[in-house]
Each structure stands twice: as structure tokens, then as C-alpha cells.
Structure 1
Amino acid sequence: MSFSEALRETNADDWDAAKNHRFVDEIFAGAVPEAVMRRYLVQDYQFVDRFVALLGTAIATADRFEARVRFTQFAAMITSDENTYFLRAFDALGVPEAERHAPAITTATAGLQALMQEAAASRDYANALAVLTVAEWLYLDWADRPSAALPPSFVHAEWITLHNNDGFRSFVTWLRGELDRVGAASDPRRRESAADFFSRAVVFERAFFDHIYA
């Protein structure tokens, strides 16, 4: 079992709860209540800045030029295609400017923001990889339902297709391989640190899905 597979297995309960969450079933059915989808996207948008900063840490601490290139390309997608989706969805849902950029931050959102900042501040490539792998692999895992029809609203459909297209799938496969490679080359202390970041990221991701219905 690879390092990434072992980490997911260790956190299977929270991982599966997020993957099979009510939110996932409802977004594929196009049935997420508008207030819930609005709350979800507004809170999720608050991660973009910290997430891009974490990608910057991965670029700065990677041990291979090829990895820097891959993360740079992914950062360009986040700040273009994904950012544009958020803005269009906010327009469709009638989200005012103040709520887009300065909403009341929930506990779950604050926890994930702090974890991303902590991983970035560690200046350790393995820690950055662990958090990034959870953020992207878990989303691919729930979004990758090849036989499922897309819902009619772009607000639902494009959030799915942003996380299950071939380019994203290829990036997640590479990201897992990078975590496996770095984990195999690391000493036990460094692997334990990366595993801790991975576990906390999974817990927060599940909590984030849960709290939008609260």
C-alpha cells in the first residue's frame, strides 16, 4: 500500500462520510437548497487566498523543477477558471460584494484556513503535499461519478465538472504520486508530520460539508 493509500485508509471513516455526504448526493441531483449552496460557496471562496499561498509554498519547497511547473500551472487554473466560476455563481445567487469578500467566517472555515496557513508556515514540502492532496483527491473522489447525469443549473454542474475532468484527474494522480515519492524518501518524523496534516485536513473537510446544513 502506498503512503497516500495508507493515509486514506487510516482516515476512512471521515473520508467516506465526506465522499458520500448529503451535499454530494444533492448537488448531483441539482437539489442543494439555494441558501445552502450560497453558504457553501461563500465560505469555500474564503479558502482561495490561503490555498494559492499554500501552492506557493509547494512551489518554493519542491525538490524538483517539474513539480514547480505542475503547481504553477494548477495555480493558474485556480485563479482563472475556478475563480471565474465563483464570480458567476455569486451573480446567479445574488451574493452581494460584501458577503463575497468579508463574510462572517464559520468555525469550520476558520479551521481549514488555519490548517493551510500552518502547513505553509512549516516550509515543509511533505506537509504542503499532505493538505493539498486531501483538498483535491477528496473532491475528485466525490465528483467522479461517470454514469451520473449533470444537473441543469451551471451552479451545480460546473462545480462538479471542475473536479472530475481529465485534467483535474491527471493532476490528482500526479499529486498522490508526489506524496508517495516524498513520503518514501522521508524519515519517520517527517512522515508522521505529513500524516497528521493529512488527518486533520480530512476531519475539517467532513466538518465543512456538515456545517453548511447547520
Structure 2
Amino acid sequence: MSLFDDLRSAALPDWDDYTRHPFVEQLGAGTLPLAAFQDYLIQDYLFLIQFARANALAAFKSRRLEDIQHSADALATTLAETDLHVRLTASWGIDRSQLDAAPEKQATVAYTRYVLDCGQVGDQLDLNVALAPCAIGYAEIGARLAPRLEEQPEHPYRDWIAEYASEEFQQAARDAIAHLDVLAARSLTEQRFEEVATVFRTATRLESAFWQQALDGAVE
């Protein structure tokens, strides 16, 4: 059992709410309103900017080259994700300057600043646990939804699903899981587990709120 497995078990209802949120299920079925997906993708672009900062912070706080390398790899994965967002939003006539100028919504601010706060106040383990629901959860969702692409050759959200089902993103998630174990081996105690489990649970709930923000935005 990895630390991630233990964290997910400790937050299982929240994890299921996140990875099987109505937004995710509708996206997988191809029935998600385009307005909800567009709202989500713009906010997720803004989210990824802060997520990139968090990975850069993880590198800054590292004292070992292997930890710096992991953070650099995670940062590269995050930057690559933004290419998908820019490409899809461009197809709607929204260029990068408009993306950069879009205002962050409440759930976007709440989640990203929580992750950054974990990094600023806590240690490497705190920060990597706060990053884990996104880094690992999206890979889980992508892998689960991938069969829908064969079932629906004209799936409207093919590019998004394919991105997170890709071997590159799946490997990044495996690396994140392995790195959590490396960090845990250095400092994890029973008390620390309870502390980081709270961090993991909170970040997971904020992921669900991020999905919900997009659904709510589509009906405003």
C-alpha cells in the first residue's frame, strides 16, 4: 500500500464525490453542456498557472536534487496541460490574451491558494499531498473515461479525455504516487499522517467545488 492509497482510503467518500462528480459523469457521457465545459476550461487554465507556481515552490523548498527533478517534471506536465486549454479555447475564438485576462472565480481562488498556502506554511510532504488530488485524480478519471472514446467516435470531449488518459499523464501520476512514498519514508509518523490526511481531504473537496462551479456557471 502506498501513502496515496492510505490517503484515498481515509477520504474515500470525498474522493468518490470528486472523481465521479456529475460534471465528470456528464463529460464522460458526452452530455455535459458546452457552456459548463467552456467555463471550466477557462478557469482551469487560470488554475494551472497557480498549480505551476506550486510546483515551482516545491522545487524551491527541496534540498535534494531528486526532489527538484520531480518538481521540475511535474511543472513541465502542468505547462503541457495549458497547451490543450489554449488549443480548445482558440477553437471558440478565445485567444491566450483573453484567457490571461479572465477573472478567477471563487472556487478557483479557494483551491489554488489553499495549495500554495500548504506549500508556504508546511513542508514538502504537505505540499505534495495538496497537489496529489489533481495530479493523480485526473489520471484516474482519464483512464476510466477512455473507453467512451471507442464507444463514441465523435465524442465532443475527446481531446480532454485523451489528454488525461495518455501514457504521459498516467506516468506523471505514477511518479507523483512514488514521490509521496519517498517523502513519507523520511518523515511520516502516525500524527503526521492525520495532518496530511486532512490536507488531502480538503484539497479533494476543493476539487469537487471546482467541478460544481462550472456546472453552476453554465446556468447563471
TM-score (norm 1): 0.87
In structure 2, the partner of 1:38 is 38
Q: Is the 8 A contact 1:2 1:180 kept in 2?
A: yes
Secondary structure at the counterpart of residue 32 of structure 1: coil
Amino acid at match of 1:132: L
Q: Does 1:71 align with 2:90?
A: no
State the shift of 1:122 in Å: 2.3
Where do 1:1-214 residues align within 5 Å? 1-79=1-79, 81-95=80-94, 99-122=98-121, 124-145=123-144, 146-149=146-149, 156-186=157-187, 187-214=189-216
Structure 1 unaligned residues grouped into runs of 5+: none
Amino acid at match of 1:84: D
Closer/same/farther in 2, CA of residues 136 and 208 from structure 1, 3 Å limit: same
**How far apart in 1 are the matches of 2:96 and 2:59?**
31
Q: State, as a whole percentage, how many aligned pairs show the same letter.
A: 24
Task: Number of aligned residue pairs: give it.
Answer: 213
* Deviation by residue 1:113-172 (Cα, 9 ceiling, x = unmatched): 211220231251101110121111111111112533266679722222221211221221
**How far apart in 1 are the matches of 2:170 and 2:95?**
33
Secondary structure at the counterpart of residue 94 of structure 1: coil
State the shift of 1:205 in Å: 0.3
**How far apart in 2 are the matches of 1:6 and 1:162?**
27
**How far apart in 2 are the matches of 1:137 and 1:161?**
15
State the shift of 1:6 in Å: 1.5
Q: Is the 8 A contact 1:144 1:164 kept in 2?
A: yes
**How far apart in 1 are the matches of 2:74 and 2:120?**
20
Closer/same/farther in 2, CA of residues 98 and 73 from structure 1, 3 Å limit: closer
Closer/same/farther in 2, CA of residues 2 and 76 from structure 1, 3 Å limit: closer
TM-score (norm 2): 0.85
Amino acid at match of 1:141: E
Secondary structure at the counterpart of residue 148 of structure 2: coil
